[in-house]
Structure 1
Amino acid sequence: MKAYRAIVAAMKIIEGKHAEQYSRLWDFVEEIKKTNPGSTVKIKLDELRFQMMYVCLGACKEGFKHGCRALIGLDSYHLKSQQGGQLLVAVGIDPNDKTWVIAYAVVEMKNKNSWIWFLEILVEDIGIINQHRWTFISDKQKGLIPAFLAILPDYHHSHAITVINYKKDKLEYYVDVCYSNVIYLETYGHLIQPMNGMSMWKVTENPLIQPPLYTRQHGRLKKKRNKEAAENEKEANPSQNEATNRSGDIPQPQ
């Protein structure tokens, strides 16, 4: 317990309190824009209380637009902090078939409204115009399908390999241009620049942001297991079970 308290005290000295970090979000935004030109950072507030934050670094954006395939994966994760919340992530596939982080957002809760807010900025950020050439991968997160219908109503899924085999074409004709040497160099020609620590950020004149109120996230629904026949009999005759238990407490003669 003492070790845990020492770790908490050390982290407060190094990183500061959570509320203090929220109050410096505007300074964080300016630091990103200064060190990584072309980045998109948006913050949504409710009377100066934090609600959502979207981040797309300039190098990640340009690298994805120049060399990655028209494929985006969407997912979300729980944040383990005092304020809780969810992390929404959009990733692509680079010429090395590795994950390429495009953008992410911190939101209070994963629902239709938060996904719509995230997708609206993402679509504008990477310039999705012809929706038919884009493919999205997800596990149908809560609120994501209605958000797709609202923001990307014309996107569709297709089984490309089946069509190619039916047409008896060569697969080489359908290899994406992202695998060429020229596109590879364009993809990795954009670098994420290092940022200064919080103590070196320039203090802006924007009003201080308050941390979000903690919102309990919805857990998984409880599932009822199939009980054995003996368990059902015990529930059907509780008086008999009580009598059996009481008789078991009576000491037997030696």
Structure 2
Amino acid sequence: MKLELGKKCLLEHFEFKVDRSSKTRYEVSCKGDGCECRFKANPKVLGHFLKEQLKDSGRIYRAKEIVKDFRQRFEVEITNLQAWRGKSHALELLQGTTQDSFAKLPIYCYNLKLANPGRVTHILVDEQSRFEMVFVALGVAIRSFMFNLRPVVIIDAAYLKGEFKGTLFLAVAMDGNNHILPIAYGIGKSEDGESWTWFLSKLRDCVGEIADMGIISDRANSIHVGVRNVFPRVYHGLCCRHLMMNLRLPSSKKKENEALWWKTCKSYRMSDFNESFNALCLVVPRIRQVLTNIGFGRWARAHCPGNRYHYMTSNSAESINSLSRFSRKMPITQLIEFFHESVQKWFYERRLQGMQESHSLTHWAQKKILKKIEGSRTWTVAGIGANSFLVEDGGKRGLVDFLNRSCSCRVWQVSGLPCGHVIAVSRFLGEHDCIHHAFSCYSNEVYKKTYEESINPLPHRSEWVIPEGLGSVLQPHITKRQSGRLKENTRILSRGEEPVQVYCSRCRTYGHVRDVCLDPMPSQIRSRKSSGKGKGKEIETQSPTDDIFPSYNLAEF
């Protein structure tokens, strides 16, 4: 009761006096006569004050901002350490502890599958039931990917920022309107080949073997190992953006060099690729040797004819990682719930968007085709056969074959959208629209089928079903160094400066400090000077623990 009165006095700006101030506690009392109101600003009390401000997970509420707010709101001075501890306690009140989150992970996954049939979850633990990895696949997203979307999966990983410094594994796909759709995600201890192999193996169990499937990722060696172990016959493309950053193009004429690089990567024909690549090597001669060392030639021969469905970067997965930058501070169940709620919201909004669309193609596909229509207005067409035509575009020309649904520029059969040559032939034949030449995945009908299913939310925790025999998961045993910079003392000594030797006050030797000393504590201690008989002498007294735990010399046995 006194604590509540103290809060009221503090909020109403009563005069108070400081009774105690330390690093962990701040006690004040009212100055009024006969008033017994007291306020103890320990981390738990500060956490209750900060809980409302931290409900928005995207807010960056730093310790110095908390100190400033308390100074302006309550006229109370707290330290940065007190603010940080109060913030930590407030986050525990809102999100729970990391240990509890791991313990409730099996129950959470079980109820997640009950609410959404078809949801796939796998939890990997070691012999002591300690957490290793978790895999979650969205059932509706998996079905949409298999039947409605282009067979391209973009994968990437991101580091967690909370108490558990693990890794988030992500696999996304793209719908016909160029929207990102996460199909599976996982959480593990570290990003290595073994973790990616386990994650991709669970993904393969969900999607199976899809013809002409492609995987886009950065040039991480662990991803390469996982893809080769799980999908040995699947096309694996490298992210051109990451590759360009690794090349470190010279700063002089940087925009021109980057434009030439992207022209090389976006080449659909091998002749166009060789022409652009040779021009790039003339500008930056060292690039040829660098790309040869990383096997760029083999990748280019597979990538240039591919250019799979316009996707040459892993920016889609990077965008989801950026979206979850604040949620990656949360415990593991809260992070999984964030993805669940986000996809649930996207399914609802995109379903309404598809129902309101009246055109046969998606909005993104329309914009792409309109841009090609404007660029092909001056091209001329000459007929060859019943289904073949030659288009003069002022360059290498284009040979269109409607029977095989192909064009010599390879844009049509690779991207799925009609190229400028096909549009010019459609205009030559008097067709009013060329949308029937686009792949079915870009149609608005398929777009609506992609999001026709719903994602159900989980019930309240008090209504969760807890089956018998479902064990709990312990916190992971970290076997590798967590992410973050090591604290190193690499200061260069000044001229004539001698290094300071580290001294241990326990064993009184140089080379280490007392905290890491391996010598046992001395069994005899020196008491302070006695005030009685024998003044001025230090009397050695026996430690009270010596009678209970006597010491022995092991060399005598």
TM-score interval w.r.t. the shorter chain? 0.7 to 0.9
**Letter paired with 1:12:** E
Residue 154 of structure 1: how far off its partner (Å): 1.2
Question: What is the rounded CA distance, in whole Å, between the counterparts of 1:216 and 1:62 in structure 2?
Answer: 38
2:120 to 18, 27, 40: 40
Equivalent in the alignment of 1:14: 94
Q: What's the CA shift for 1:141? A: 2.3
Which residue of the other structure, out of 143, 147, 152, is the alignment partner of 2:226? 147
CA spacing shift, 1:174–1:87, aligned 2, 3 Å: farther
- Quote how far apart the aligned CAs of 1:28 are: 0.6
For the 8 Å contact 1:62–1:190, the answer to whether it is kept is: no
Distance 2:410 2:170 in 1: 36
Shift in CA distance, 94/102, structure 1 to aligned 2, threshold 3 Å: same
The amino acid that maps onto 2:180 is T
In 2, distance between residues paired with 1:180 and 1:242? Answer: 76
Determine the structure 2 residue equivalent to 1:63: 144
Once residues 467 and 191 of structure 2 are traced to their aligned partners in structure 1, the CA distance between those partners, rounded to angstroms, is: 30
Q: Does 1:90 align with 2:180?
A: no
Q: Is the 8 A contact 2:135 2:184 kept in 1?
A: yes
1-side partners of 2:105 and 2:121: how far apart? 10
Q: Counterpart of 1:97 in 2: which secondary structure? A: coil
Q: Hey, what's the Cα distance between the residues in 1 that align with 2:96 and 2:410?
A: 62
**Conserved? CA contact 2:151–2:210, under 8 Å:** no
Task: Pick one of 102, 105, 109 that aligns with 2:186.
Answer: 105
Q: CA deviation at 1:103?
A: 0.3
Q: Which residue of 2 aligns with 1:211?
A: 475
Q: Confirm or deny: 8 A CA contact 2:116 2:455 kept in the other structure.
A: yes
Q: Which amino acid counterpart does residue 208 of structure 1 have in structure 2?
A: S
Deviation at 1:190, TM superposition (A): 1.8
**Equivalent residue number for residue 187 of structure 1:** 450
> Identity, % of aligned pairs?
28
State how far apart, in whole Å, the 1-side matches of 2:452 and 2:305 are. Answer: 31
How far off its partner does 1:55 sit?
A: 0.2
Cα offset for 1:148?
1.4
Partner Cα distance (2:445, 2:105) in 1: 38
CA distance in 1, matches of 2:208, 2:230: 13
For the residues of structure 1 that align with 2:445 and 2:140, how far apart are their CA atoms? Answer: 17
Quote the offset at 1:176 in angstroms.
3.1
Alpha-carbon RMSD across the aligned residues, in angstroms, is 2.9
Instruction: Report the 3-state secondary structure (helix = DSSP H, G, I; strand = E; otherwise coil) of the residue aligned with 1:137.
Output: strand
Question: Within 5 A, what are the aligned runs for 1:119-158?
Answer: 119-130=200-211, 133-156=212-235, 157-158=302-303
- Higher RCO by CA contacts (8 Å cutoff, separation 6 or greater): 1
TM-score by length of 1: 0.78
Cα pair 1:60 1:190 within 8 Å, conserved: no
Residues matched between the structures, number: 225
Q: Helix, strand or coil for the counterpart of 2:92?
A: helix
Secondary structure of 1:144's partner?
helix
Report the Cα distance in structure 2 between the residues aligned to 1:216 and 1:199, rounded to whole angstroms: 38
The AA in structure 2 aligned to 1:88 is F
Q: Provide the residue aligned with 2:439 in structure 1.
A: 176
Pick closer, same or farther for the CA change 1:99–1:151 going to 2, 3 Å. Answer: same
Q: Is the partner of 1:183 in helix, strand or coil?
A: helix
TM-score after normalising by structure 2: 0.37
CA deviation vs aligned residue, 1:193-237 (integer Å, no higher than 9, x gap)? 1112444322233122101123424669xxxxxxxxxxxxxx9xx
Q: Separation in 1 of the partners of 2:410 and 2:481? A: 52
Flag the 1:21–1:11 CA change in 2: closer, same or farther, 3 A: same
